[in-house]
Structure 1
Amino acid sequence: MRYLNSVRVTQKAGTTMSEQSIETAPRAARKLGAVILGLASFLTAMLAAFVLPSVNSGPNQIPVGISGSIQVVGPLQETLGGDEWDVSHYASVDSLVSAIRERSVMGGLIITADGVDIYTASAGGPMAASAVTALGNTIAAKLHKQAAAHDLVAYPKDDPRGAGLSAAALPMILGGILPAVLLCRLFPGYQSLRIRMAGVLLFSLLAGAAITAVLQFGTGSLAGSYGLSALGLSLGMAALSVTLIGLEGVLGFAGLGLGGALMMLLGNPLSGLATGPHWLPDGWVTLGQMLPPGATGSVLRATAFFDGTGAGTPALVLAAWVVFGLLLVFITDRRGRWSRGTISAEASRPAHSVGNLA
């Protein structure tokens, strides 16, 4: 009888296991299909995010100044009044040069009887500077005049094309994502929030100082104040890391992945580090400058080449991201403490009940 019972139990267990395997097969197929579809969508989105800005890039409301006689400047302003240029008239050469140095305009044309003088600031945006130069040469050819180009704010001699600044985009973004991912894995739970926050802040300061030192003293890609540039870069990486830690605390691993993908897929191609913000498609310029990579690039460009002029707005954007991340961290901490208090209260109830019964 025991043998028969054991056989029946074995048969019943075998039937249950086969039924479970049959039931989980469609579920596994659906899960596999969802993973494949998600990966394909992710790669497609990544391709679109990186390719579309390049394909659709070009002059986009580039602010340019013009100085000269009203007989020449008037018709020229009407001709250039389109989507590519934002033309302003300046009464004198000095006022136009000051506007370029103060980043009110990306470049300027001074049209005189002797020729056309082209003033640019290539460190503010090499593609925009090239476009202004091409525009000046075209106008000089139409007027049958000679053109002379003057670069008021150029890249350092050791890196005249700004290759180092362009290449800094990816390390800068990874410098904000990797420490957040690593610290969240090594120190999980809301009890370790302070450790994670201290870690990302210390890393941001150290990495910002190190990367800026390489770019300024190693490759000669940056000029200006080393301290201000290092602080700006550190603020940018802290804005990324603190936000990602906050997203991980509120949404879990999905929040960490979502935040990292957003910064990589949108923040990197829309940062404008290589081209300057005025070379991106309309609307994407604003979005790129509102994300930490684009704001960090603008701060770094301002501190390194323009004595800090124009660094205020992007610095405020980065500070807002830090505050947003801290708010998420605070919510995570409050929620964790509330959950722990609830569990402790529920765990203590049976003990009180037993004591009352006794």
Structure 2
Amino acid sequence: MATRTTSSPRTLVAIVVGITVMVALMLLAFAAPALNSGPKDLPLAVSGPEQATSKVTAALDKQAPGTFDVTTYATEQEGAEAITDREAIGGITVGAKGVTVQTATGAGTAYTQVLKGVGAGLEESGQKVTYVELAPTTTDDPQAVGVSTLGLPLVFGGMATAALLLLVYRGSTLMRFVGATAIALLAGFVATAILQLGFGALDGDYWLTSLSISAGILAISATVLGLGALVGAPGIGIGAVTMLFVANPLSGLANGPQWLPGVWGEVGQLLPVGAAGSLVRSVAFFDGGGAISHLVVLAVWIVLGVALAGLGVARQGRGTHVATAEREEALASA
């Protein structure tokens, strides 16, 4: 007996076009930020006497127009604090003994390379230049490759956690979030053990770094759990698209958010992957400097996920109540 197919040519066309559009959007999501990234409006701390900082700022504008967004400070210490608080990618200090270029490789190796290029130019002009590293990476991973590899583990860990818990615990929102928290904690400690203890890629407090990664995984899984509880399977799809095709390419994990074009770096820091990556950098290389804002972002996403799940439970409760009332009414009329 021949098998009857219900698929029409129109369905096939829709599938072909749909997949092609998804591939194109995926390419755009990852390629556009990467191809348009570079040194533009990088926040730079310039410190020293006002006359000296004015000359440095003017020289930078002339030699590298548009590369730096300069903020001036009265002393070298103030400039250094701005760097370690993650307000600047590095700094230049002008003093009686010459120029000091302050780098923070932990923020992203690309910034250090740019600043060393500036320092080389100053040396060619006859200036005595000293280099000071304020946030070094590890000797085993001087390029901080370990941090840049966190994107997919964060997204997959959060997405897989949410999908499995939505499937297994169909009627228990509490168990879903308890499971998500437990998985995030364990995964964070394991991931940090691999990167820090195994490869020597991180150099901070092991427990705080682990909790930073855990917070990133939980923020993603909580959001997807909430979306899944509210709208079902489409919610998982919305979460996957948001985290994989938006949050991941805009995260700035490789070189930091300031390397991304326009406002995209700022947008990426408001999403879980970018916030988690920057939080890990703050804890691992800056002794927690600038960590609070990233913690707040992750906490907001976790709370949002819980709130969405609560709305989903309330919605189901109303649906059950209506269905029960309709059955009782039907029985009474019979």
Q: Tell me the TM-score normalized by structure 2.
A: 0.91
Q: Aligned pair 1:331/2:326, yes or no?
A: no
Q: Aligned pair 1:110/2:90, yes or no?
A: no
**1:293 alignment partner AA:** V
Question: Does the Cα contact within 8 Å between 1:116 and 1:140 map onto a contact in 2?
Answer: no
Residues paired across the two proteins, number: 329
Q: Percent identity?
A: 36
Q: Aligned pair 1:186/2:172, yes or no?
A: no
Q: Aligned pair 1:140/2:140, yes or no?
A: no
Which has a greater percent of helix? 1
Output the CA distance in 2 between the equivalents of 1:249 and 1:83: 47
CA drift of 1:136 comes to 2.0
Output the CA distance in 2 between the equivalents of 1:333 and 1:248: 11
Alignment partner, residue 99 of structure 1: 82
Unaligned runs of 5+ in 1: 1-19
CA drift of 1:118 comes to 1.5
Q: Aligned pair 1:322/2:302, yes or no?
A: yes
**Per the alignment, in what secondary structure is the counterpart of residue 149 of structure 1?**
strand
Q: Which of 259, 263, 267 pairs up with 2:243?
A: 263
Alignment partner, residue 292 of structure 1: 272
CA drift of 1:112 comes to 4.9
Output the CA distance in 1 between the equivalents of 2:72 and 2:312: 53
Output the CA distance in 2 between the equivalents of 1:283 and 1:104: 16
**1:237 alignment partner AA:** I
Question: Does the Cα contact within 8 Å between 1:114 and 1:145 map onto a contact in 2?
Answer: no
CA drift of 1:109 comes to 1.7
Output the CA distance in 1 between the equivalents of 2:147 and 2:17: 36
Deviation by residue 1:54-84 (Cα, 9 ceiling, x = unmatched): 1110123212122355554323313435532
Alignment partner, residue 53 of structure 1: 33
Output the CA distance in 1 between the equivalents of 2:103 and 2:175: 47
Question: Does the Cα contact within 8 Å between 1:53 and 1:270 map onto a contact in 2?
Answer: yes
Name which one, 1 or 2, has greater alpha-carbon Rg: 1
The residue correspondences of 1:24-103 to structure 2 (distance < 5 A) are: 28-68=8-48, 70-81=50-61, 83-103=66-86
Question: Does the Cα contact within 8 Å between 2:222 and 2:305 map onto a contact in 1?
Answer: yes
Superposed structure 1 runs of 4+ greater than 6 Å apart? none
Unaligned runs of 5+ in 2: none
Alignment partner, residue 166 of structure 1: 148
**Per the alignment, in what secondary structure is the counterpart of residue 159 of structure 1?**
coil
CA drift of 1:198 comes to 1.9
Q: Tell me the TM-score normalized by structure 1.
A: 0.85
The residue correspondences of 1:241-280 to structure 2 (distance < 5 A) are: 241-280=221-260
Report the more deviating stretch, 177-186 or 106-115: 106-115
Question: Does the Cα contact within 8 Å between 2:30 and 2:249 map onto a contact in 1?
Answer: yes
